[in-house]
Chains A and B, each alone.
Chain A
Amino acid sequence: MKKNIAENESVLGWILSTPSVVWILLIIVYPVILTLWISLHQQKMVEVNPPFIGLKNYIDLLPSAKFLFELKLTVIWTFLNIVLITPVGVLLGLLLNRQFKGVGILRTWILLSWIIPIVATTLIWQWMLEPAVGIINFLLYETGITRSYVNFLGDPSISMLSIVVVNVWRWSPFMGIMTLAALQNVPKEFYDAARVDGANAWQTFWHITLPQIIPTVSVTSFILIIWLFNMFPPIWLLTEGGPIESTTTLPIAIYKEAFRLFRMGKAATYSIILLIVVSAFVAGYMMLFVKSREEVVK
């Protein structure tokens, strides 16, 4: 009897999971395999029977100065974003966790940057950052902070940072909301006990709040890092990788190779390398995460 049930459960499990497995195979596994296949060929546009060139695309690309520069920019982009989004987001979460008049409206208002479609918000930023007619330059000049135009998006030395600021504005609320959710799960008794023991605000934050929210903040940062590595819209909409390729991260390079230069083989090679880099990061993170959890359990 038990054996029959076990067999039936197993079969049922397969049947129920088949649609999801098929879907994952279709939208994830198949495209990755196809991309890998294309990267081994000199594929132009969508030509049929492109010549097989083995690993030539990888051998040409990996040591090239162009690729290394784009990889460096991608790492810088990711790093700058995460070191700004995390503290700003956590501060937002702490602020939104307080009870004061208008906190509901503030929560909605802060979330707007994340809810409004990225194309709309980014184009508005483009207008605001325009040196000759944009409002930011106007305010900087009128308040005496600057005495000439600041070319936020047209100056290669600051264009990346300018886009980072726009992106931090967009993604900090996401970190803020995740932090808020974590904060609201901190048992109130902890704070009561801390008050009884005479802990000040900083001590309460450092010894109670922070340890409680770190797991959530860590996981959110981890997810954000993966997204940031692959992020395309804000950079494309604001600078398309310019000026002088100073904002050409790997996703931008992939797009240009594929749809400006129609070098599908090279674009696929870029994509596979990006996949490997992100996967390596994920694997490293998971190893550290599992190790730290094991130590906690011990």
Chain B
Amino acid sequence: MKKSKKLILLALSVAVALSLVFTWPAKVSAEDIVLTLWHWETPPHRVEKLDEILAKFREETGIEVRQNPISFPELNSKILAAIAANRLPEMIWVNPPQLMILRKHNSLVPVTDIFKRIDAEVQFLNPSIELYRFDQEQLTIPVYGISWPLEYRADLYEENGLEPPVYWTDLLEAAKKLTKDLDGDGRIDIYGMMMPYSIKGNYGSQAVWGFLRTNRANVVEMENGKEKIVFNSTQTIETYKFLKELTKYTSPGSGNMDWGMGELQIRTGKVATAVYTAGFLSTLYRKGLEEMARKWKQKFIPRPKDGRIGHTAYTRGLVFTTTVISSKEREAAVKTFVRWLYKPENYAEMMMMEPVLFVPVVNGKSMMDAFFAKPLIGKFRGAMEVQIDVLNNSSVIGFVNGIKAPHAAELEGSFTLGAVLQKIVLQGWSVERAVEWGQKRYEEIIKE
């Protein structure tokens, strides 16, 4: 081979090797701080709205905050990878399970001081505060909630002489009466109740959890500082027996139903009742289906006669990761952002990322006035008020009665509640056998 060719080839291979080295991510210097916020509100209109808010913040303060929307199923894996690589963003919107992951790895900075300052002005709702308080320290600043009341077609209930259901017996009666073959072709056209028994996504498990809580059933308690699974109980068995009956009046796709398929049933008029967020109302409105949206009303999930009010609802919290304290300038910038975000007009605008779905977790008059002044919120004020009440009467697996179960993320992530109902409905297991299976599954999870 000619010498010149050898030299060219040698130079090329060195260039390739060097490019690998120099394209390695560079550290951002203190002078050009860019903050990053991770969240999982990935629908394009939510991302767009948050972009507007962040652009406004930059215009007013000169500080840049970038959002990184991550799809929910990937969130846990991305957080874990970021922890391992020591590349966490400054801020993350979390649910309690993600908080437990970050806390386990000492990746959080308490936000007690700034929380107190903001709380004095906005008056956070109590449940959202307690959820994220550990050892007298506040680990997140509550951002917004998502709650799951009972949605029902008020027009169909009225037509069929039914009152909005308060107790389980009412709901069962309504589900039966409203399941109909409207055109006489031998197929059901509308189902009285959408009751998923699915492990695809967490809809199935969260719908079940709401009903369990109305009957005071639970998954885990703390005893002498250790987790104890209390799933196999009379209350749990009673609840599943009721749900088994309810599934007779649900859509055939309920065995594989996720949130998207659930909303599809609602939007196509296939169901008369559902445990679901009211967020679909704004979607119907935006698509020119306001009349359809107005037919839906919200109320508390029905309970047994001797039961309690209980629901599933999540409060998203904003955490500061340890990346925040990498420099004083970074920490100051993050605090500036958060204080700015909780000004009434900015917070109300943030709720517009998904109108009617996002529930404010604040109680301050100026905050709520700004929120309800938004036109779409004003249109569906009734739905919002119910959802706020639901948030105040809700809980999450592993966070009941003030406990903070260390394995909350795993217990929730196992989707065992939906799996138990699946075994009852699809495999024909007795309720007792299925609940016992669920108990063992949960025990296995906390054993490790």
Contact = CB atoms under 8 A, between A and B. Distances in A.
A154 B254 CA distance: 7
A21 to B, nearest CB: 11
A19 B20 contact: yes
Given A153-B256, A154-B255, A243 B426 contact: yes
A166 B186 CA distance: 29
B436 interface: no
A258 B17 contact: no
Given A130-B264, A132-B253, A15 B80 contact: no
Q: Find the residue from A155, A156, A238, A243 having the highest chain B CB count within 10 A.
A: A243
Interface string B414-430: 11000100110011000
A114 B419 CA distance: 33
B66 interface: no
Contacts of A46: 80-81, 83-84, 105
B426 A156 contact: yes
A151 to B, nearest CB: 5
A15 B6 CA distance: 11
Interface string A260-276: 11110000000000000
A164 to B, nearest CB: 16
Contacts of B251: 131-132
A248 B276 CA distance: 27
A258 B79 CA distance: 13
Given A130-B264, A239-B200, A242-B256, A261 B105 contact: no
A18 B256 CA distance: 50
A127 interface: yes
Contacts of A8: 6
B1 A127 contact: no
Interface string A1-42: 000000011001001101100110000000000000000001
Given A45-B80, A149-B252, A243 B199 contact: yes
Nearest to B268: A133
Interface of A: 8-9, 12, 15-16, 18-19, 22-23, 42, 44-47, 126-127, 130-133, 141, 147-149, 151, 153-156, 159, 238-244, 258-263
B252 A151 contact: yes
11 contacts: A16-B13, A18-B13, A19-B17, A133-B264, A151-B256, A154-B256, A155-B426, A239-B256, A242-B200, A244-B422, A260-B413
Nearest to A119: B71
A154 B256 CA distance: 5
A44 B410 CA distance: 11
B166 interface: no
A159 B255 CA distance: 11
Q: Find the residue from B191, B198, B265, B427 having the highest chain A CB count within 10 A.
A: B198
**Mostly helix, strand, loop or mixed at chain A's interface?**
loop
B270 A133 contact: yes
A244 B199 CA distance: 8
A16 B9 contact: yes
B104 interface: yes
Given A131-B253, A156-B426, A259 B76 contact: yes
Contacts of A151: 252-253, 255-256
A126 B415 CA distance: 21
Contacts of B256: 151, 153-154, 159, 238-239, 242-243
B435 to A, nearest CB: 16
Contacts of A244: 419, 422-423, 426-427
Interface in B1-59: 1, 6, 9-10, 13, 16-17, 20
Contact of B198 (A23, A243, A259): A243
Contacts of A133: 264-265, 268, 270
Given A12-B6, A242-B200, A42 B448 contact: yes
B156 interface: no
Contacts of B80: 45-46, 259, 262
B101 interface: yes
B448 A263 contact: yes
A45 B101 contact: yes
Contact of A260 (B84, B254, B415): B415
A64 to B, nearest CB: 12
A130 B200 contact: no
B261 interface: yes
A147 B200 contact: no
Interface in B78-93: 80-81, 83-84
A97 B81 CA distance: 48
B332 interface: no
Given A127-B264, A132-B251, A240 B201 contact: yes
Contacts of B445: 261
